[in-house]
Amino acid sequence: MEKNIRFLIESNYSSMRKSEKKIAELFIENQISAKDINIDTLSRKGGVSQPTVVRFSRSLGFEGFKEFKTYLIEKGYFKEDDDEYNLMTQFEMDINDDISDVPSKIIASNIKQLKNTLKNISSEDIEKAVSAIDKAGKVVIFASENSCIVADDLSIKLVYMGIDVIYSSDYIRQSVYASNLNKNDVAIAISYCGKTKNTVEAAKIAKRTGATVITITNSYESIINKYSDIIICSGNEKIIYKEAIVSRCSQLAIIDMIYMGLMVRKPKHYSKVLKKNSKIIEEHVIK
């Protein structure tokens, strides 16, 4: 247990009620994991009522259980290698959860994915992708379903940087755009699962034209990577549909890496273009 938390509980132990001490002992004896940090589980494990869990939290100086739980998160009560139930990295939603739990659990899920992305991302691949995009005659983006939001974000950033980019959420147009590429162009295929039929097909067509194909996906083993020259992997975990929202977070982070990579590569050039385009944008803002 983190020393500050142990000290906090032990220093207030003598003034606690007998029932509150039962909860305190669970923490002192390290019988609590991240999955147990909810009122129902703590009351059941301690053999006390739910109001007792709240009173225990207040005996430590917190306004209630919610504030105590936030304190545990901030102090890193659970070890980073608690892969299954780490409070900060994998906080599954439960049907009995309160709406007030949603913000912390969603943020925790995003933190998990971003940390995993940081572990798996290759700076060398980011550099290769940035170089290819910077030198490209034109850039075409392929994406379907949830990844369309990410593709749209990338296309907007590249347009503002003065890069010739084409993107449409229509998968038929994507295939047509792919067929019109040549060896001087770049195709960027975004697919979290790496097996979305329309995106894979567009990448396949682009590969035949000789264009440089960049894939942004979750696993190096993804089907779409068969047609890739540069693979940017956001993680390397099992793909399940419920990760769609979290996957968007990691994909958007990768788009920001590409954007900043371009800025670092040619700061004067892209700063000048962005400044010019910013003036155009300002003209459309109501003052």
Domain 123-281 in CATH 3.65.10.10: no
Task: Indicate the helix (H) or strand (E) that contains 152.
Answer: helix 147-160
Q: How confident is the model at residue 95 (pLDDT cuts 50, 70, 90)?
A: low
Cα(256)–Cα(113) distance, integer angstroms: 15
Indicate the range of 21-25, 34-38, 78-82, 212-216 predicted with least confidence: 78-82
Q: What is the pLDDT of residue 134?
A: 96
Mean pLDDT of 98-107: 76
Q: What is the pLDDT of residue 266?
A: 95
Q: 97-100 contacts: CB < 8 A, separation 24 or more?
A: 97/38, 100/66
Q: Which CATH number fits domain 3-117: 1.10.10.10, 3.30.1280.10, 3.30.70.890, 3.90.550.10?
A: 1.10.10.10
pLDDT exceeds 80 at position 242: no
**Predicted model pTM:** 0.66
Task: Indicate the helix (H) or strand (E) that contains 140.
Answer: strand 139-143
pLDDT exceeds 60 at position 89: no
- Sketch the domain layout of the chain as residue ranges: 3-117, 123-281
Instruction: Give the N- to C-terminal CA distance of the chain in Å, as an integer.
Output: 55
Q: Are 24 and 52 in contact (CB under 8 A)?
A: no
Mean pLDDT of 98-118: 78
Q: Are 178 and 168 in contact (CB under 8 A)?
A: no
What separation in angstroms does the CA of 13 have from each of 17, 23, 26, 73, 111?
Answer: 9, 10, 12, 21, 33
Express each pLDDT in 251-277 by its tens digit.
Answer: 999 999 999 999 999 999 999 999 998
Indicate the range of 23-27, 85-89, 170-174 predicted with least confidence: 85-89
